[in-house]
A and B are shown apart, each in its own frame.
Chain A
Amino acid sequence: MKTEHLKAMLWLRWTLSVRLWRRASVAGSVVAVVTAIAAGVTAVAGFGFAFGLGMLLLPRAGPEEVLIAWDGVVGGFLFFWAIGVMTELQRTEPLSLSKLLHLPVSLDSAFLLNYAASWLCLSQFF
């Protein structure tokens, strides 16, 4: 995999992503931004609330309650991790490989470049 190829793919992905964003309807863009901000605020607030609750209650809890709390934390982590995996699986081919394979890249490189470039997408920031 050549560095120049990676740069070109990152540029391509970013340009397409920005163009797609600009061409989307204003209402759709507003909803997406509001949703993203709401998700960010909820995540930060939820983390702070759970952390504070744990600091307040866990010192007085018995071993059974601590174990149940850990079960909840692990269960929640696995749930969101599984969502992440599902997202990853759908994100591996953002650009059709058939549009790249006539260019001087191997199938492996095209797949890797495509995957690497998929990180440079506006939706990733949310």
Chain B
Amino acid sequence: MAFAYSSVAIVPDLALVTRKLTRDFGDVCAVDEVDLTVEAGTLYGFLGPNGAGKSTTIKMITGLLQPTSGEIELLGRNPLDAKEAIEVKRRIGVVPEDLALFDLLTAREYLSFVGRMFLMERETVQRRIDELLGLLRLEADEKKLAVEYSHGMKKKLALAAAILPDPDLLFLDEPFEGVDAVTSRVVRDLLASFVARGSTIFITSHVLEIVERLCTHVGIILEGRLVEQASLDDLRQGSSLEARFLEKVGTTEGAHAQLSWLESTSAPSAEA
């Protein structure tokens, strides 16, 4: 069952706009003139197969990678302008693809460091850290170094760091990958309440079920080009998100038939 966002106020402002956003790596065009439009107060799912350009797009938007060309408008500001970039970064939270944690810091130390970089008051930081560690079930392991954490725990820590400064816009690159079912539920509820209070979330995920439950709007990127961008209801049109997604990116139905050892219909015992 999909989450209901009945408390979401209609906010006309756009949280994110990109115009002809492009990134080349030599002769390879990883992102090709992508025009994204994300309304404030929505949960936007950015979908695409592996290597489609999702992470490259997020990196450009969040300042980790310089675009080859194009424009970005983030919360009404231009993050490509050095003077405005810092102001924009103070209002966004990011869970990058590689999580960007420091292996030799404990969870509390890393979150404190992030709080200091956001120039937050120490008391506020400590209070929020207590709440986040409790909510994400990291309390018992808060004294362990990040290097000792499982991938799922690292993901939770990166998510806690992104949420800590209470950003207006949250970018999450595969937030549900490697996270257990209980935490996945907690994270989903957390993101839902985040959006309900007016913040905007931009997530990439391969888990279409979760995107279907959570997101209000969806964009699909394929080979660097944005092939679809619509509200979830408009995209599905009575069908499932998975069916529509496969339709857009090209279905792989029947691919198993290309494997010679799967083509045989007779069981081994019958052959013998």
Contact = CB atoms under 8 A, between A and B. Distances in A.
B85 interface: yes
A104 B89 contact: yes
A106 B116 contact: no
B102 A103 contact: no
Given A8-B117, A104-B118, A98 B86 contact: no
Given A16-B105, A102-B96, A2 B64 contact: no
B263 interface: no
B170 to A, nearest CB: 12
Contacts of A15: 104-105, 109
Contacts of B3: none
Interface residues of B, number: 24
Contacts of A102: 62-64, 89, 94, 96, 100
Contacts of B89: 102-105
A98 B64 contact: yes
Contact of A19 (B86, B104, B116, B117): B104
A121 interface: no
B90 A104 contact: yes
A22 B102 CA distance: 16
Nearest to B90: A104
Interface string A2-18: 10110110011001100
B100 A99 contact: yes
A60 to B, nearest CB: 58
A104 B116 contact: no
A116 interface: no
A5 B64 contact: no
B114 interface: yes
Interface range, A side: 20 to 34
Interface in A74-126: 95, 98-106
Nearest to A16: B104
A103 B101 CA distance: 12
A8 B86 contact: no
Contacts of A16: 102, 104-105
Contacts of A41: none
Nearest to B89: A104
A45 B105 CA distance: 40
Contact of A4 (B96, B101, B119, B145): B119
Contacts of A103: 89, 114, 117-118
A98 B102 CA distance: 11
A101 B64 contact: yes
Interface string A58-81: 000000000000000000000000
Contacts of B243: none
A43 interface: no
User: What are the 10 closest A-B residue pairs judged by CB atoms, nearest first?
Assistant: A8-B116, A104-B89, A19-B104, A102-B94, A99-B100, A103-B117, A104-B90, A16-B104, A101-B64, A104-B86
28 contacts: A4-B119, A8-B113, A11-B113, A12-B102, A12-B105, A15-B105, A16-B102, A19-B105, A20-B104, A23-B104, A95-B102, A98-B96, A98-B98, A99-B102, A102-B63, A102-B89, A102-B94, A102-B96, A103-B89, A104-B86, A104-B90, A104-B117, A105-B86, A105-B89, A105-B117, A106-B82, A106-B85, A106-B86
Given A11-B113, A104-B90, A104-B118, 8 more contacts: A4-B116, A8-B117, A15-B109, A19-B105, A99-B100, A100-B117, A101-B63, A104-B119
